Structure 1
Amino acid sequence: MKHIFYIILGAFFIIFWSSCREDFSFSPSSGSLEFSKDTIYLDTVFTNIGSSTYNLKVYNRSDNDIVIPLIQLSQGENSFYRMNIDGSTGNSGTLQGKRFEDVELLAKDSMFIFIETTINIQTLSAQDTQFLYTDAILFDSGNNQQKVELVTLVKDAVFIYPQRFQDGFIETLTFDVDGDGIPDETNLQGRFLNDDELTFTNEKPYVIYGYAGVDAGKTLTMQPGTRVHFHADSGILVTAYASLNINGALSTNPDDLENEVILEGDRLEPLFENIPGQWGTIWLFNGSDNNTINYVTIKNAAVGILCEGNQESPTGKLNISNSKIYNSSNFGILGRATSINGENVVINNSGQSSFAGTFGGKYNFTHSTLANYWNTSFRQFPSVLLNNFLVDADNTIVTNNLEEANFNNCIIYGNDNIEFLLENEGNSEFNFKFTNCLLRFNNNNLANSGNYMFSDADLYENSVFNGMPDFRLPFENDLIIGADSEAINLGNSTFASQVPNDILGVNRTANPDTGAYQHIIFED
């Protein structure tokens, strides 16, 4: 028994001693490292704004444990890139994140290098508004040296942001919220635009932090080709007696969109290209008027446009034409007791409704495609929602006249069975009509009753229900219709003469299709 005990005890000490050894033999790297990519493209960044973190995987395919004598950025401490290798930031001081010495890598093993950048374009060029900045990660030196290229496109921009005070608080907007003529403090971080900031041009993109406010008596104008990028929880707020005029134009090449105005988030990586809810909204506050939007794309907001009040505006509080709103986490356009006129409007992919006209108002859409192919989560509401009421803080229903809601030569469709919802309460007016529209309403229990009396020509005139629109790629926001669409020639020529060209500039007066696009023949 004693012999067995000593044998087990001896084996234990051998195993324990072996597990505590730190004298692994590492051979110098021989220049045979392998990499997950030979060039790392860090997506476009704005000057002085940090990039996302990108990674490179380094492999030791050999049977030997190796030590890499040196890993460094070729521009050394002057490089705008910085690295982290498996949690280490490298040498201290000015070389931290720039230079690493004697990096060990076991046989048949790998390691991660994480790369970021923050670049001041003014140090690169005093004239260019964008600059291709390059560097390289060098592994070892001399004959054994290997490298991986780094490439980043840097854009100059106009930055608009609120003031940060010494106590840590950030400037908030103060304006007349309740219409009593007395300025009210809000919790909306942001500031009002100065007079010299009220014209946005296409010379540089604009990056907005917080809400850029348009004060009473002022007008914010955006010229053709303007690009505006919003940080999280940011947007534009147009207060009472102020206006917003977005004057985009039809691009000569629809694929380039050089004249269109684009409003989107400030994350430029491809991963964020179609992520909803990256920023707040374009808020047309109660009392603002004469707002016009033409040839604009609004994408990835919480609410594309929030339009409130001015129901009795003689020409419409908001006139929007030839514009697209995509990927709104809540609503594409949300109207509250307001007046909106839309022509050649395309809305798709909204977490709630693409268009909601709530608490009454006046709404007129002609040759518009109001669709919803949201597939990110459960969607509670249809593409189009109309009602004439709200529920106040005391849980009391308050009504207001829906004076008119006319949809002419429109497509209202989506991936749900019911894509328009009509809800009225009390004795307030509830006036609506769909004329020469292609509509999605696949519910036999609700059809032909109440507001859904489809045989009533005063409510539904020459409209087609549940016919296929034949959108090209609806889940990718491509709502051009094809040769098999039941919207072809469905349009009324009188309305087509009011909007003679589709959103791409194609004439529609002879044989108008419904929706914002005339049909095309899809390529195989």
Structure 2
Amino acid sequence: MLLFIGSFFITSCDREEFTDSPDAEITFSLDTLRFDTVFTERGTITRFLKVFNPNDKAVRISEIQLENQQSFFRFNADGLPQEEARDIVIWAKDSIYVFVEATIDPDQSVSASPFVIEEKLNFTVNGNTSSVLLEAYGQNANYVPFKEATGNIALLSCNGGTVVWDDPKPYVIFGVLVIDDCTLIIPEGARIHVHGGFARDEDFIYNDGLIFVGANGRLISEGTAADPVSIQGDRLEPGFANQSGQWAGIRLSAGSGPHSFKYTEIKNSIVGIRADSATTLNLEQVSILNTAGPGLLGIHNSITAVNTLIANNGGNSAQLIYGGNHSFHYTTLSNFGNQIEALRIDNFLCYDPPNCDDVRANPMQVSFVNSIIAGSGRDQIQIIDVTQENSGFMNFEFDHTLLRVFQLLRQDRYENFLEDCNNCLNFELFEPVFKSVPDNDYRLDSLSLARAFARPIPNITTIDLQGHPRDSEQPDAGAIEWKPEE
């Protein structure tokens, strides 16, 4: 009897030492456990974290489990490496160590071993789950910055000099790369991958995968037809090939530059290139594809584009605002799948949104020659002149260009737009232009209206986006010259 009573009290005390409150929390020594070793061959590395119980009673972690069944990681919470553990006790005001092991084989394909491997290690206490993010480098690449990750800012500065990213291995950018007091040259064949991820500050949650060029910085991309430059996200699995919004984009801040991109493909970002006030940007044989927002955003600056394709955009393909001086030759703007115009042109900026009592204007000069402006909606060009046609504040030219306009031709807008165009064609949606928009194939169809529609332009390159020669007498409109199937 005494033994029974003693056992009862011991058991009761043991129960009372544990909390079953759903409000009981555990905390961690870090929110992201990073394995920042770059492997050149298959290897294993171990890191650890501490798990704290700040409560006045013991807690029982009912389950510790890796998020994925096929994982690059294993952990040790009670003496044995494993993928999951159960009923781990942390006494009141105490802590435990959890050791995590990552095994990486950089010789695997990027689809099997991505540039950045991320997985959650989940801890369940009294029905509530909290997590630590595990992050490792899955490929032999140049990681910038080397030992930091999302949410951080890396400064590339070289006292007004030049840095060339000419290592044959890919470059993987974490967080925000700021280029200032420096010129970054990206040579032919370079592969730049930006690891976009959600970061937060006190006010916002945002995607922090960004290339930002400061006021004293320059960005020059020097691809060739044989070895173009690629700038995109770091998810290369087939399901992510055309997925927009994977990283923030490229921003050229006010007064920076001049900037130049040749034979360069920029894809899968939120904004392709944003060029702020007083910047000069030159695009030759450039593709900007699959953006969640605008493909090209120019704000009171100067842009020259030749043989450039901007397509599959969640916003305008080209958004040219607050005036500027812009020239586009042999350019294709293609924005199918939504009703947003492929091209927006305006000459104002609202300084106090959303009221817009303080609106300022700058003169706009823009020309499109031998180009295609296409999309799903009936209107693919939007022109807004806040000065109500004050002389010199809205000047545009369209020459030998295929386009789609309807509302723009209203009497209270630009009813003489087509008459003022020099040999423009206002085509219908069903008429043939591209080979296959659903497949993002913007080569010209064999029956395309753009074939032999352009005019030769002196002093403009006779090579198209893909490096093919153009017809010297009757070239095609748009970025890509038609050529027969081989």
TM-score (norm 1): 0.63
Task: State the 4+ residue runs in structure 1 displaced beyond 2 angstroms.
Answer: 79-83, 89-95, 117-121, 128-133, 161-164, 194-198, 394-403, 445-452, 454-457, 467-470, 520-523
Deviation at 1:472, TM superposition (A): 1.1
RMSD: 3.4
2:418 pairs with 1:418: no
The change in CA–CA distance for 1:501 and 1:405 in structure 2 (over 3 A counts) is same
CA distance in 1, matches of 2:276, 2:300: 6
Aligned to 2:175: 210
Deviation at 1:119, TM superposition (A): 4.2
Aligned to 1:353: 316
Deviations 1:331-379 (A, max 9, x none): 100010111000000011111100000011111000010111235xxx5
1:55-204 equivalences under 5 Å are 81-82=72-73, 93-97=79-83, 118-120=102-104, 155-161=139-145, 189-195=152-158, 198-204=163-169
DSSP-derived class of the 1:431 partner: strand
Deviation at 1:400, TM superposition (A): 2.7
Aligned to 1:291: 259
Deviations 1:111-160 (A, max 9, x none): xxxxxx95445xx78xx999998xxxxxxxxxxxxxxxxxxx95211111
Q: Contact (CA 8 Å) 1:436, 1:514: kept in 2 or not? A: yes
Q: Which ranges in structure 2 are unaligned for 5 or more consecutive residues?
A: 1-36, 40-69, 86-100, 114-136, 197-207
Which protein is richer in helix relative to its size? 1
CA distance in 2, matches of 1:132, 1:387: 46
Corresponding residue to 1:307 among 275, 283, 286: 275
DSSP-derived class of the 2:443 partner: strand
Q: Contact (CA 8 Å) 1:202, 1:227: kept in 2 or not? A: no
The change in CA–CA distance for 1:328 and 1:130 in structure 2 (over 3 A counts) is closer
Aligned to 1:238: 213
Q: Contact (CA 8 Å) 1:162, 1:190: kept in 2 or not? A: no
Aligned to 1:389: 348
- How many residue pairs match? The answer is 363
CA distance in 2, matches of 1:93, 1:474: 56
Deviation at 1:506, TM superposition (A): 1.9
Aligned to 1:433: 397
2:452 pairs with 1:489: yes
CA distance in 1, matches of 2:423, 2:112: 56
CA distance in 2, matches of 1:447, 1:321: 35
Deviation at 1:494, TM superposition (A): 2.3
The change in CA–CA distance for 1:163 and 1:420 in structure 2 (over 3 A counts) is same
DSSP-derived class of the 1:456 partner: helix
DSSP-derived class of the 1:441 partner: coil
CA distance in 2, matches of 1:131, 1:387: 43
Aligned to 1:502: 464
The change in CA–CA distance for 1:277 and 1:520 in structure 2 (over 3 A counts) is same
1:335-354 equivalences under 5 Å are 335-354=298-317
Q: Contact (CA 8 Å) 1:119, 1:154: kept in 2 or not? A: no
Deviations 1:71-110 (A, max 9, x none): xxxxxxxx98458xxxxx99954431399xxxxxxxxxxx
Deviation at 1:298, TM superposition (A): 0.6
Q: Contact (CA 8 Å) 2:347, 2:386: kept in 1 or not? A: yes
CA distance in 2, matches of 1:350, 1:279: 14
The change in CA–CA distance for 1:492 and 1:271 in structure 2 (over 3 A counts) is same
CA distance in 2, matches of 1:131, 1:331: 28
Amino-acid identity (%): 28
Deviation at 1:221, TM superposition (A): 0.6
DSSP-derived class of the 1:155 partner: coil
DSSP-derived class of the 2:373 partner: strand
Aligned to 2:423: 462
DSSP-derived class of the 1:264 partner: strand
2:413 pairs with 1:450: yes
Deviations 1:397-426 (A, max 9, x none): 423333310000000001111111111112
1:202-281 equivalences under 5 Å are 202-216=167-181, 218-232=182-196, 233-251=208-226, 259-281=227-249
CA distance in 1, matches of 2:84, 2:178: 42
CA distance in 1, matches of 2:314, 2:300: 22
CA distance in 2, matches of 1:337, 1:277: 25
Corresponding residue to 2:285 among 283, 303, 322: 322
The change in CA–CA distance for 1:325 and 1:266 in structure 2 (over 3 A counts) is same
CA distance in 2, matches of 1:47, 1:210: 18
